[in-house]
Amino acid sequence: MSGVSLRIAAIAVSALSGLLMASAASAQATGNTGDLIVDARLRYESVTQDGLLDADAVTFRTRLGYETPAWRGLRFMGEVEGVAQLNDEFNDTVNGNTTYAVVADPEAFEVNRLQVSWSGSEGRRAVLGRQRIVLNNARFVGNVGFRQNEQTFDALRLEARPFEHAGFTYIYIDNVRRVFGDDSPQGEWESDSHIGQADIDLPWGKASAYGLLFDFGDDAPSLSSQTYGVRWANEWTAGRFRPRLTLEAAAQSDYGSNAASFDLGYQHAELSVRRDRWTVAVAGERLEGDGARGFATPLATLHAFQGWADVFLTTPPDGVRDLNASLSYATQPWLANQPVVFTVRAHDFTDSDGGADFGSELDASVRFSISEHVTFEAKAASFDGEDPRFADRTKFWWAIEYRY
């Protein structure tokens, strides 16, 4: 861990005793005893992939934590996370079972979050320490919440909303705690990265402009880059229909410890229309490649994009274009007064210019709440490759999660 990481942790820990004492007094006066965090998930994941043994993984993840009551705007949070494997018939990226398909859920026990936060007027907020960061839709920075071991960051986050329709965010990332765990050489990246974003509420939607300056030093120099982009989204009502349009574009180039020289682009557009319990969406996403490397998103929640089969976690050197369409249906509220949500999505993948066919994918899921705290989800993904670099694969998951 770098010197700044140690300082971040030391500040967070040293603040604990004082905040707990102040919080205890506040709790006695107000009856607020803080927030207990309990988050457990049991999951089965099956992977059939050409050229590898079939993987079957049963894993159990638990997060336990506590956040103190606010005292003069200050709160302290601490959370530990443990991941246990109930079998070993899969490659978790560190167990040496390389003849099996990958299920990237290694065993782990670690401090997941340890942070001090402060909130004030005009949307002012500061968070210092190990924390969860999800920027926009998590396409560039996210917590990789699908995997059992969450991605968190040793960071400083500052937010302000000095104007009614404008907000600003700055984040400094000193260390990245990745999903691969402490036993992996890629489980932790030292970082000297900066994120800035401005959000503006317009009469015709919400616009965001952002800059991502990622520098991962010796841990991942080839993934260091600077990315500048704009994002706009708007939803409106047209009779019984609720259309929503999202547009985004970004440019990426070399930065920091990256010795390469490149200029790559990113474009995304999505139109969805909701009527009653039905939602239909069509979208296109393009990550450019220059023949040597593709547009990189190393801190993203990648599973949520370009198909659940996770074929394109790393953008190919010739880029990737994803054209997809989806259909969702939510039933009448059922158990726990919540609907059952069914989703089907189809993808067509090519290189970024559309000239080379990479393959197609079909995804499907069902999700519903059993009670106020318990949720069940089943998902499936089937990728049919047309390029020898991308093997055919089929994945299936079921998971039951408890949150308190």
Question: What average pLDDT score do residues 205-224 get?
Answer: 97
Instruction: Tell me the pLDDT tens digit for each residue of 309-343.
Output: 999 999 999 999 999 999 999 999 988 889 999 99
244: containing domain:
3-403
Name the token pair of 210: 């952002």
Task: Answer yes or no: is pLDDT of 40 > 50.
Answer: yes
As a whole number of angstroms, the distance between CA 367 and CA 11 comes to: 40
In the predicted structure, residue 83 carries a pLDDT above the cut 90: yes
Burial 146-177 (b: 16+ CB within 10 A, else e): bbbbbbbbbbbbbbbbeeeeebbbebbbbbbb
* pLDDT band at residue 12 under the 50/70/90 scheme: very low
What local confidence, expressed as pLDDT, does residue 4 receive? Answer: 46
Q: What is the pLDDT of residues 102-149, one digit of tens each?
A: 999 999 999 999 999 999 988 899 999 999 999 999 999 999 999 999
| Mean pLDDT, residues 209-213 taken together | 98
- Whether residue 5 has pLDDT greater than 50: no
| Least confident segment among 16-30, 337-351, 378-392 | 16-30
pLDDT band at 30 (very low <50, low <70, confident <90, very high): low
Over residues 191-199, mean pLDDT = 98
pLDDT at 345 over 70: yes
Give the number of domains in the chain.
Answer: 1
Question: Mind listing the pLDDT tens digit for each residue in 156-182?
Answer: 999 999 998 999 999 999 999 999 999
Tell me the whole-structure pTM to 2 decimals.
0.90
Provide the CB-side half-sphere exposure for 273 (13 A, CA). 7
With CA atoms as reference, report the closest residue to 56 among 45, 64, 40, 65: 45
pLDDT of residue 336: 82
Whether pLDDT at 15 is above 80 = no
Mean per-residue pLDDT for 86-92? Answer: 97
User: Mean pLDDT score of the chain, rounded to an integer?
Assistant: 93
Tell me, what's the pLDDT at 31? 61
Quick one: pLDDT at residue 281?
98
Q: What are phi and psi of 301, to 5 degrees?
A: -85, 85
For every residue of the chain, which 3-state class applies, written as one string? CCHHHHHHHHHHHHHHHHHHHHHHHHHHHHCCCCEEEEEEEEEEEEEEECCCECEEEEEEEEEEEEECCCECCEEEEEEEEEEEECCCECECCCCCCCCECECCCCCEEEEEEEEEEEECCCCCEEEEEEECCCCCCCCCECCCCCCCCCCEEEEEEEEEEEECCEEEEEEEEEEEECCCCCCCCCCEEEEEEEEEEEEEEECCEEEEEEEEEECCCCCCHHHCEEEEEEEEEEECCECCEEEEEEEEEEEEEECCCCCCCCEEEEEEEEEEEEECCEEEEEEEEEECECCCCECCCCECCHHHCCCCCCCCCCCCCCCEEEEEEEEEEECCCECECCCCEEEEEEEEEECCCCCCEEEEEEEEEEEEECCCCEEEEEEEEEEEECCCCCCCEEEEEEEEEEEC
Whether residue 26 has pLDDT greater than 80: no
Is the predicted pLDDT of residue 61 greater than 80, yes or no?
Answer: yes
Cβ contact 75:82 at 8 Å = no
**Nearest C-alpha neighbor of 329 from the set 317, 338, 337, 341:** 341
* Overall average pLDDT of the 86-97 stretch: 96
With a cut of 60, say whether residue 21 has pLDDT above it.
no
The confidence band for 13, taking pLDDT boundaries of 50, 70 and 90, is: very low
Confidence grade of residue 9 (pLDDT, cut at 50, 70, 90)? very low
Between 32 and 293, name the one with better pLDDT: 293
Q: With pLDDT > 70 as the criterion, what percentage of the chain qualifies?
A: 92
State the pLDDT at residue 334.
85
pLDDT tens for 245-303 read: 999 999 999 999 999 999 999 999 999 999 999 999 999 999 999 999 999 999 999 99
What pLDDT score was predicted for residue 33? 82
CATH number of the domain residue 328 falls in: 2.40.160.10
pLDDT digits (tens, 9 = 90+) for 390-399: 999 999 999 9
